[in-house]
Amino acid sequence: MEPVVVVRYSEIGLKGKNRGYFEKKLIDNIRKIVKPPEVNKRYGRIIIRLKGMSFEEIKERLRYVFGIHSFSYAYATSHDLDEIKEAVKELLTLSLKDEKTFKVQTKRSYKQFPLTSHELSAYIGAFVLEKFKNLKVDVHNPEITVGIELKEKEAFIFVGKERLYGGFPVGVSGKAILLLSGGIDSPVAGWYMLKRGLKIETLSFLSPPFTSEKSAKKVLDLASILAKYSPEPIKANIVSFTEVQQYIKKNAPDKYSLILQRRSMMRIANKLSRKRHAKALITGENIAQVASQTLSNLASIEDASNVPVLRPLIGFEKIDIVEKAKEIGTYEISILPYIDSCVAFAPKNPATNSSVEILRDLESGLKELHDLEEKAYREIKSYTLGRDL
Ligand code: ATP
Ligand code: MG
């Protein structure tokens, strides 16, 4: 018998004729992120052969692969009953703590096997009862489940399943530009969109010299965390936004300056998305959280974008966003005191109500805005961030 990891995917199983493409992408991403000695598709599962690599190491890396529903440490055996029993005994010995109840669940896709699923479950159940005197059968609510999957050429034996995030393999849904501030929300927004299979590039607006090198490092560190979930390195782009901001601050009513800045960000992000063939922008916006996030202001900001603006956190509670940020490791970086651009140029009383007409009208009087945006765009600095686990 051979130690393997059985990987299960759920949503991608539903995808009709795209299924083959998703499976291929998932295997490809496992190869790049987990770097296992051998991984193959077998009978609707993905099987990683350990071949000397430690299970702990594989497990730690699998967390970063979106598109996986659950996985189990398992033994691949022949159809020989003694070998199956041996595998069950070893796995239970490894995993038992103080559980008192168990059941055996058999899935038999190899129909030529001499016993039915029920018969094999009963047979192995009797064996477990004999070897582990403290265990009792509970078919409805067992503390531990022994799984047996009988396939054509081999059987997979495992105890329990570990859940992962699910979602889709990164890369199957196209590409988007994440507007990544130094705040708590936007890194989490990026994480959720990676989970839906989007490839991302980040774009951050800073205001040197009002923001320091530490602010740049902060957004790059945040992007590096997201890069762990990506099979390919992530590009992180930094815009020096100071001149645009100063120009708006000086030439437009204070209360609209924040929305005007946001519209400039949208236009610069659109330029980048055209160049990089990205089909959408992603923000960490959330309805009603701050002044710029009323419905009318969101509409005024979105008006400046030609591509859809995805806002995965739109209806989240702040407390849940914070919890997710802690879980994925961005929180500790986000709360560092180094500001991104907006804080440095925030108006005292930003308008909570705006209209597209007013903003377009204001912009038509800002004659240099277009050139300043173009200059900021041309001077974007790009960094490539790999996955260093
Ligand atoms: P965050 O915690 O992500 O900063 P927030 O709740 O503070 O979000 P805002 O500051 O209003 O909200 O920003 C809304 C969104 O606009 C951000 O989530 C981000 O996507 C984008 N954004 C704001 N400022 C910047 C910036 N300096 N660089 C890049 N994107 C930004
Ligand atoms: Mg912010």
Could you tell me if the CB of 283 is within 6 A of ligand 1? yes
**CA dist., res. 7 & res. 3, Å (int):** 13
What digits encode the pLDDT tens for the residues 197-253? Answer: 999 999 999 999 998 899 999 999 999 999 999 999 999 999 999 999 999 999 999
**CB contact at 8 A, 154 and 251:** no
Question: Which-ligand-closest: CA of 291?
Answer: 1
Could you tell me if the CB of 285 is within 6 A of ligand 1? yes
Mean pLDDT of the residues in the chain: 93
235 C-alpha to center of ligand 2: Å? 21
**CA dist., res. 64 & res. 12, Å (int):** 17
CA distances from 336 to 133, 160, 221, 385, 386 (A): 54, 40, 11, 21, 23
The mean pLDDT value for 59-84 works out to 96
What digits encode the pLDDT tens for the residues 321-360? Answer: 999 999 999 999 999 988 877 666 778 888 888 899 999 9
275 C-alpha to center of ligand 2: Å? 26
Question: Ligand 1, atom 23: nearest CA belongs to which residue?
Answer: 181
Give me the domains of the chain, ranges plus CATH numbers. 2-163 (3.30.2130.30), 175-385 (3.40.50.620)
According to the annotation, is 215 in a ligand binding site? no
DSSP assignment of 45-83, as one string? EEEEE-TT--HHHHHHHHTT-TTEEEEEEEEEE-S-HHH
**Predicted local confidence at residue 310, as pLDDT:** 98
**CA dist., res. 358 & res. 354, Å (int):** 7
Could you tell me if the CB of 205 is within 6 A of ligand 1? yes
Dihedral pair phi/psi, residue 23, rounded to 5°: -65, -40
Neighbouring-strand partners of residue 71: 7, 162
According to the annotation, is 205 in a ligand binding site? yes
**CA dist., res. 144 & res. 88, Å (int):** 12
Question: Ligand 1, atom 12: nearest CA belongs to which residue?
Answer: 285
Q: Give the pTM.
A: 0.93
Could you tell me if the CB of 340 is within 6 A of ligand 1? yes
**CB contact at 8 A, 271 and 177:** no
Site to substitute for ligand 1 among 178, 179, 215, most atoms within 8 A of C-beta: 179
